[in-house]
Amino acid sequence: MIPLPGSISAQPSRDDGEPAGSPGCVPGGLELSFSAPRSGLTVLSVAGEIDTLTAPHLGAALDDLLDRGDRQIAIDLEGVTFLASSGLGALIHTARQAARDDRRLFVVATSRAVLRPLEVTGSAQLFTVVPDRSGIPGP
């Protein structure tokens, strides 16, 4: 992958400074990282384009997010510049699994690239969409 001027590849990290076991940058340029900003909440941050090439990597990271067992989970899509139907499918699968497990799932998103596909497909109702991480209520 050729880095663009001014771009920095996200490294796996947690807010407490410990490695989080994140996949990092995957083929296709998708960047994935986990953080645990507080007890009981894990956030998966995603940056780049979610398309047919990168959606399987997103799906694997979402499975990891679910496996962590927190009652509240969030997917931060602020860095996503394109969301194809394959990525939407992975998000919907995660929303359904979280609902089955009686867990709260939040999606952080404000860009049209993310919100529009959620709205036109009606899948926005599966998530609690918030404009930033501060919109995620405490335990």
Give the residue numbers spanning the domain of 107: 34-132
The CATH number given to whatever domain includes residue 108 is: 3.30.750.24
Which range, of 17-21, 51-55, 79-83, 97-101, averages the lowest pLDDT? Answer: 17-21
pLDDT of 70 reads 93
**What's the mean pLDDT in 83-101?**
96
The whole model's pTM is what? 0.81
* CB half-sphere exposure, 107, CA atoms < 13 A: 22
pLDDT 10s digits, 22-67: 457 777 889 999 999 999 999 999 999 999 999 999 999 999 999 9
Answer with the residue of higher pLDDT: 46 or 6. Answer: 46
**Domain-located, residue 12:** no
Does 65 map to a domain?
Answer: yes
3-state secondary structure of 129: strand
Q: Is the pLDDT of residue 115 over 90?
A: yes
- Higher model confidence: residue 78 or residue 69? 78
State the amino acid at position 82 in one-letter form: F
Write down the pLDDT at residue 27. Answer: 73
Give domain status of residue 88, yes or no. yes
What pLDDT is stored for residue 16 in this prediction? 38
Flag whether 116 is in a domain: yes
Parallel, antiparallel, or unpaired: how do β-strands 41-50 and 72-83 relate? parallel
Contact (CB, 8 A) for 87 and 60: no
Which of 22-36, 80-94, 116-130 is least confident?
Answer: 22-36
